[in-house]
Amino acid sequence: AVLKQFFSGKGAKRMPLIPLRDTVVFPRVAVPVIVRRDKSIKALEEGMKHGKIVALVAQHDENATDPSAGQLHKVATVAHVREVVKQEDGSVRMLVEGVARAHIKEIASKEPYLVARLEPMPDASANKSERTEALMFSVLNQFRRVVNMGANVPFDVLLVILNVTEPALMADLVAANLEMTVDEKQDVLEAETAEKKLEAVNAALNRQVKLLQMASKIQADTGKELDKMQREVFLREQMKSIEKELDTLGGKGSEDELKTRIEKAGLPPAAKEKALKEYDRMKAMPSFSPELSYVRTYLEWLSDLPWDKKDESNVDIALARKVLDEDHDGLVKVKERILEYLAVQKLVGKIRGPILCFVGPPGTGKTSLGKSIARALGRKFHRVSLGGVRDEAEIRGHRRTYVGALPGRIIQGLAGVKTKNPVFMLDEIDKVGTDVLRGDPASALLEALDPEQNNAFSDHYLELPFDLSDVLFVTTANMLDTIPPALRDRMEVIEFPGYTEEEKLKIARHHLLPKAMKDNGLAPRACVFEDAAVRAVIGSYTREAGVRDLERNLAAICRKVAKREAEEGDTKGERGKGRKSGKRGSKVAKRDQVVILATDIAKYLGPAKFSDSMKEEKDEVGAVTGLAWTEAGGDILTIEAARMPGKGELILTGHLGQVMQESARAAYSYARTVAAENGVIDAFYKDSDIHLHVPSGAIPKDGPSAGLAMATALISLLTGRKVRKDICMTGEITLRGKALEIGGVKEKVLAAHRAGITTVIMPAANKKDIVDVPREARRALTFVFVKHMDEVLSAALTDGAGAKAAAAGARAAKKTGKKAARRSRKTASPIKRKPAPRRAKPSKKRR
């Protein structure tokens, strides 16, 4: 009735309107539609009340939730609602059958649902021309192709379409049942004539055919790829069964051998269980699996580790003492400390105490003493250098999932020595870096070293705890400052201060020379070094706390001797074929013994590298010898002061660190105060610059301990009094000239001793440190302990030149007419003559 009314009356009729997002409803075609929006459901309810008729229209804009008139197409379909099913989620599923097209004249109201004023549209006119026939033929043809190529069309629909004879209906049916865009469908709906409808469908089908062709090509290509893979899998399976066959023919395979190894490795029960499980997993893997080799490597690592293999180790203190003494000269305190440590181990059974840490400059025997301990205990020795390690994984290993993963260095080391109780040396523990991104190696180290927790050290690669409590860890470092505090806390520090000349001589005689001769193929008596010769090498070719350079230089001499021997041997061999008498032979041998004298050294090693004594340098104005502490032990350095015309600036050069620069300023201020008190008026500074320079580029220069020396250099410059060259000094200065305590006394004093200095000035507060200085150096040196700069000046400055300078100062003062300068004749006013600062020249004089 409603429909009749709709079509009969004239003008537009009002009707509830439902907007559709993704489809178009065609006249005479039934389709299911789902209605979700509240407004649409209300419109549907309204339609159901009035003859089950609603109008449906496609949206222009698919995304509009509450479309306005502009977002809707202009042609709607009036439809008959056949079925309505309310879904659980609140939406409504309905089956509609299109009745007729209608123009939307306007949207009459928007709330509570859309109401449109509609004007019925006539059916698409159909005059069966030839063109229409041809189009129908083409549409059918293409439709068939599309279906053949896999388009999804229900069978009954297919039958209907194939049998349709009416052109407009055919177009509508095809459009409704194929995948076409909403716009394409709407075009079909709106077309005025059947012919136009068919044309629109034809174009859409054309596009569809192309799409399907492309899709099937892509599929064909993928199919080929798949075939190849299947073939490969098949071949590999075949290979595997062949391998199996061969295995049964040839007896036990290598995999079974691995199993025995795992069983014999002495793993703790839990670990063994895990290992065997992994083994079973590996057995089950296809032979081409990439994981297979990973698991295999893992199991090999597990079976290589010394889970329960220990070296028999009896601590015999007397024997240990003998071995340590045999291998090393000197180091009395160090050896004593190590023997105590071993004695405790003997009593307790296992050491649960702190870890040993050997601290000292390079070449002082830290590593070789570690080897000696291993020898004394009858254990294996393993050394790992930690210098530059920044990655936690280097200590603790990579996780197994990581490509190319390996256990950490500690586990690797143990697998290498094959016992679980070696002496394990961790070298350069002070050089371990930290990198936020790569974990903290120090904490991994701590876990390995800490006796409280190292009986279950977890390596990321192993994934099983390993007991490190039998390992005797010894660490070495050049300095303590950079060792992470948590580690330092757990370590017992044993200092290796460096050697005196006497000690070096002994070490050279007993260890370095025999070794150098042997290494260079010389018989034990082939070459004899005079004591003075060794001393010459120590004093003029090396300046170090340890004995590395000494060892190198002695080896160089031996090498040259060996080379000469070899050359002479060749010529002798040609000449002396007749001389076979034993008597003559032995005489020749004796004559062949090479004696190395002090005077020969330059022949072997070239010109001396260091002057062996500061005593022989001349005293100078404005140049003071200071003492520095470095990682390589102590060193001496010269501090120079100079004055030149300028604007009263203080120039500091020589790569001084921040603290040292501040210390220089303090020394400068102090020197100015002193000068002013002594009548050297300030005008002096106004027209001159003062330059403080510390040469020796290789020595890192920072810290406050050069304060006294810098102040002395400045005051020497201002007063014109010379500084004694046989004196050196170290100590911090305050603005009022007080001397403050400094560190590194032992190393500094040894350096002064090496350099041939006679007197060392240092703060009184450092008196306590002198007991640590080796006796030989202590005896050879005079120490002046000072509390104030005054004492430094009276010890370090000479007087002879002072008088002359004072006179010069007086003359200068007269010339410029400065009253203050005249007042005191004793202290010199600025002298115009500036002594050129000189560097220490190497002297070839030898003792």
**Catalytic residue positions?**
705, 748
- If binding is defined by CB under 6 A, does position 431 make contact with ligand ADP? no
Q: How far is the CB of 371 from ligand ADP (least distance, A)?
A: 8
User: What is the DSSP-derived secondary structure letter of residue 797?
Assistant: B
Q: Which of 367, 454, 663, 829 binds ligand ADP (CB under 6 A)?
A: 367
Q: Report yes or no: 87 and 93 within 8 Å, Cβ to Cβ.
A: yes
Q: Report yes or no: 396 and 438 within 8 Å, Cβ to Cβ.
A: no
Q: Is 786 helix (H, G, I), strand (E, B) or coil?
A: strand
Q: How far is the CB of 474 from ligand ADP (least distance, A)?
A: 11
623-630 and 633-645 strand pairing: antiparallel
Which of these segments, 86-94, 171-179, 325-333, 729-737, binds ligand ADP (CB under 6 A)? Answer: 325-333
Q: How far is the CB of 595 from ligand ADP (least distance, A)?
A: 24
Nearer to ligand ADP by Cβ, of 438 and 552: the residue is 552
Nearer to ligand ADP by Cβ, of 145 and 509: the residue is 509
- If binding is defined by CB under 6 A, does position 368 make contact with ligand ADP? yes
Which of these segments, 262-270, 324-332, 392-400, 765-773, binds ligand ADP (CB under 6 A)? Answer: 324-332
| Distance (Å, whole) CA 795 – CA 724 | 9
Which of these segments, 23-31, 73-81, 360-368, 745-753, binds ligand ADP (CB under 6 A)? Answer: 360-368
Query: Which is nearest to 127 in space by CA: 196, 200, 195?
Result: 195
Structure tokens at 41: 């459901």
Residues 31-90 binding ligand ADP (CB under 6 A) are none
- If binding is defined by CB under 6 A, does position 551 make contact with ligand ADP? yes
Q: How far is the CB of 774 from ligand ADP (least distance, A)?
A: 12
Q: How far is the CB of 361 from ligand ADP (least distance, A)?
A: 7
User: What is the DSSP-derived secondary structure letter of residue 835?
Assistant: P
User: What is the DSSP-derived secondary structure letter of residue 495?
Assistant: E
Q: How far is the CB of 602 from ligand ADP (least distance, A)?
A: 24
CA triple 334-340-345, angle to 5 deg: 130
Which of these segments, 93-101, 122-130, 264-272, 364-372, binds ligand ADP (CB under 6 A)? Answer: 364-372
| Distance (Å, whole) CA 630 – CA 361 | 8
| Distance (Å, whole) CA 592 – CA 26 | 121
Nearer to ligand ADP by Cβ, of 195 and 551: the residue is 551
Instruction: Find tokens 């031996």 and name the residue.
Output: 558
Q: Which of 16, 19, 363, 809 binds ligand ADP (CB under 6 A)?
A: 363
Structure tokens at 140: 């059918």
- DSSP string computed for 135-166: HHHHHHHHHHHHHHTT----HHHHHHHHH---
In sequence order, what are the residues at sequence separation of 6 or more whose Cβ sits closer than 8 angstroms to the Cβ of residue 159?
Answer: none
- If binding is defined by CB under 6 A, does position 296 make contact with ligand ADP? no
Residues 481-520 binding ligand ADP (CB under 6 A) are 507, 511
Instruction: Find tokens 């002072």 and name the residue.
Output: 802
The H helix count followed by the E strand count for the chain is: 31, 26
Q: Report yes or no: 198 and 139 within 8 Å, Cβ to Cβ.
A: yes
| Distance (Å, whole) CA 446 – CA 532 | 48
Which of these segments, 55-63, 136-144, 327-335, 451-459, binds ligand ADP (CB under 6 A)? Answer: 327-335
Nearer to ligand ADP by Cβ, of 359 and 449: the residue is 359
Residues 460-479 binding ligand ADP (CB under 6 A) are 476
Q: Is 499 helix (H, G, I), strand (E, B) or coil?
A: coil
Q: How far is the CB of 377 from ligand ADP (least distance, A)?
A: 18
Q: Which of 17, 54, 170, 331 binds ligand ADP (CB under 6 A)?
A: 331
Query: Which is nearest to 399 in space by CA: 298, 274, 273, 269?
Result: 298
What are the start-end ranges of the E strands in 478-615?
A: 491-495, 527-529, 594-596
**Pattern of binders to ligand ADP over 214-253, x per CB under 6 A?**
----------------------------------------
Query: Which is nearest to 90 in space by CA: 41, 133, 161, 136?
Result: 41
Which of these segments, 5-13, 356-364, 434-442, 568-576, binds ligand ADP (CB under 6 A)? Answer: 356-364
Nearer to ligand ADP by Cβ, of 339 and 711: the residue is 339
- If binding is defined by CB under 6 A, does position 621 make contact with ligand ADP? no
- If binding is defined by CB under 6 A, does position 299 make contact with ligand ADP? no
Which of these segments, 199-207, 237-245, 542-550, 833-841, binds ligand ADP (CB under 6 A)? Answer: 542-550
Nearer to ligand ADP by Cβ, of 301 and 499: the residue is 499
Nearer to ligand ADP by Cβ, of 40 and 367: the residue is 367
- Provide the greatest CA pair distance for the chain: 152
Q: Which of 548, 787, 804, 822 binds ligand ADP (CB under 6 A)?
A: 548
- If binding is defined by CB under 6 A, does position 335 make contact with ligand ADP? no
Query: Which is nearest to 713 in space by CA: 703, 722, 704, 700?
Result: 722
Which of these segments, 68-76, 366-374, 405-413, 450-458, binds ligand ADP (CB under 6 A)? Answer: 366-374
Query: Which is nearest to 633 in space by CA: 538, 697, 545, 550?
Result: 545
Query: Which is nearest to 161 in space by CA: 24, 26, 23, 21?
Result: 26
Q: Residue 560: which region, alpha, beta or left (left: phi > 0; alpha: psi -120 to 50)?
A: alpha
Q: Which of 101, 185, 196, 328 binds ligand ADP (CB under 6 A)?
A: 328
Q: How far is the CB of 330 from ligand ADP (least distance, A)?
A: 5
Nearer to ligand ADP by Cβ, of 333 and 736: the residue is 333
Any bridge partners for residue 477, and if so which?
A: 359
Phi, psi (rounded to 5 degrees) for 469: -70, -10
Residue type at 619 in one-letter notation: D
- Burial code of 497-527, b = ≥16 C-beta within 10 A, e = fewer? bbbbbbbbbbbbeebbbeebbeebebeeebb
Q: Report yes or no: 78 and 25 within 8 Å, Cβ to Cβ.
A: no
Q: How far is the CB of 701 from ligand ADP (least distance, A)?
A: 23
Angle between helices 167-177 and 155-163 (to 10 degrees): 160
Instruction: Report cis status (omega within 30 of 0) of the bond before 835.
Output: no
- If binding is defined by CB under 6 A, does position 330 make contact with ligand ADP? yes
Q: Which of 365, 679, 774, 809 binds ligand ADP (CB under 6 A)?
A: 365
Burial group, residue 70, by CB count within 10 angstroms (0-12, 13-18, 19+): exposed
Nearer to ligand ADP by Cβ, of 19 and 744: the residue is 744
- If binding is defined by CB under 6 A, does position 547 make contact with ligand ADP? yes
How many residues make contact with ligand ADP (CB under 6 A)? 18
Q: Which of 364, 454, 719, 730 binds ligand ADP (CB under 6 A)?
A: 364
Nearer to ligand ADP by Cβ, of 28 and 515: the residue is 515
Q: How far is the CB of 331 from ligand ADP (least distance, A)?
A: 5
**Pattern of binders to ligand ADP over 336-355, x per CB under 6 A?**
--------------------
Structure tokens at 648: 């009263």
- If binding is defined by CB under 6 A, does position 362 make contact with ligand ADP? yes
Q: Report yes or no: 693 and 731 within 8 Å, Cβ to Cβ.
A: no
Which of these segments, 94-102, 260-268, 544-552, 711-719, binds ligand ADP (CB under 6 A)? Answer: 544-552
Q: Which of 329, 470, 612, 732 binds ligand ADP (CB under 6 A)?
A: 329
Q: Report yes or no: 614 and 756 within 8 Å, Cβ to Cβ.
A: yes
Nearer to ligand ADP by Cβ, of 39 and 366: the residue is 366
Residue number with the smallest Cβ distance to ligand ADP: 365
- If binding is defined by CB under 6 A, does position 622 make contact with ligand ADP? no
- If binding is defined by CB under 6 A, does position 366 make contact with ligand ADP? yes
Q: Where do contacts with ligand ADP occur on this chain (CB under 6 A)?
A: 328-331, 362-368, 476, 507, 511, 546-548, 551
